[in-house]
């Protein structure tokens, strides 16, 4: 999959930065619908990065279970009538992505790019919540 470039007809917006982050060692997140609400008890985590490299001690290094990331962003008003795609340059092993509580992508594969067309789910000028479980 080629990486999109900014052109006269394509505009990209990076979601890199601090995301809300929460470990889920008991795998309760999906059943409790963490993707439907702001992550309770979350801490800030830089994206892109590996939480294993950020968390101190064995908490991150030895974690078994899911890890949840969440951020909000405003879809540019100028994107009205345009196709809107979320692209992830990589996620390790498996990832599930939700936008405002709706599942938009599942990905399996180590550190490979994937994307989801979210045009039908977003309104230009409005804020969306993106949640990723890995």
CATH number at residue 73: 2.60.120.260
Q: Which of 68 and 8 is assigned the larger pLDDT? A: 68
In a domain, 11, yes or no: no
- pLDDT for the residue 37: 96
Residue 132 structure tokens: 């990723």
End-to-end CA distance of the chain: 21
In a domain, 12, yes or no: no
In terms of Cβ atoms closer than 10 Å to its own Cβ (0-12, 13-18, 19+), residue 70 is: buried
In a domain, 49, yes or no: yes
Per-residue pLDDT tens digits for 96-115: 999 999 999 999 987 889 99
HSE, CB side, 13 Å, CA atoms: give it for residue 88: 29
Residue 25 above 90 pLDDT?
yes
In a domain, 9, yes or no: no
In a domain, 42, yes or no: yes
Residue 10 above 80 pLDDT?
no
Parent domain of 38: 17-133
Confidence (pTM) = 0.90
Average pLDDT over residues 1-10: 59
Per-residue pLDDT tens digits for 53-80: 888 777 777 888 999 999 999 999 999 9
How many structural domains compose the chain? 1
In a domain, 127, yes or no: yes
Torsion from C-alpha of 56, 41, 107, 12, nearest 10 degrees:
-90
Residue 1 above 60 pLDDT?
no
């Amino acid at each position: 999959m080629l990486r999109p470039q900014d052109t006269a007809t394509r505009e990209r917006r990076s979601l890199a930065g601090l995301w809300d982050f929460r470990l889920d060692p008991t795998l309760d997140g999906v059943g409790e619908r963490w993707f439907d609400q702001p992550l309770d008890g979350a801490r800030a985590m830089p994206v892109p990065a590996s939480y294993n490299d950020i968390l101190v001690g064995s908490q991150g290094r030895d974690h078994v279970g899911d890890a949840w990331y969440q951020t909000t962003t405003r879809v540019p008003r100028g994107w009205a009538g345009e196709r809107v795609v979320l692209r992830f340059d990589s996620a390790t092993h498996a990832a599930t992505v939700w936008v405002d509580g709706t599942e938009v992508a599942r990905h399996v594969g180590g550190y490979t790019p994937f994307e989801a067309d979210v045009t039908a789910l977003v309104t230009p000028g409005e804020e969306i919540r993106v949640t990723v479980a890995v």
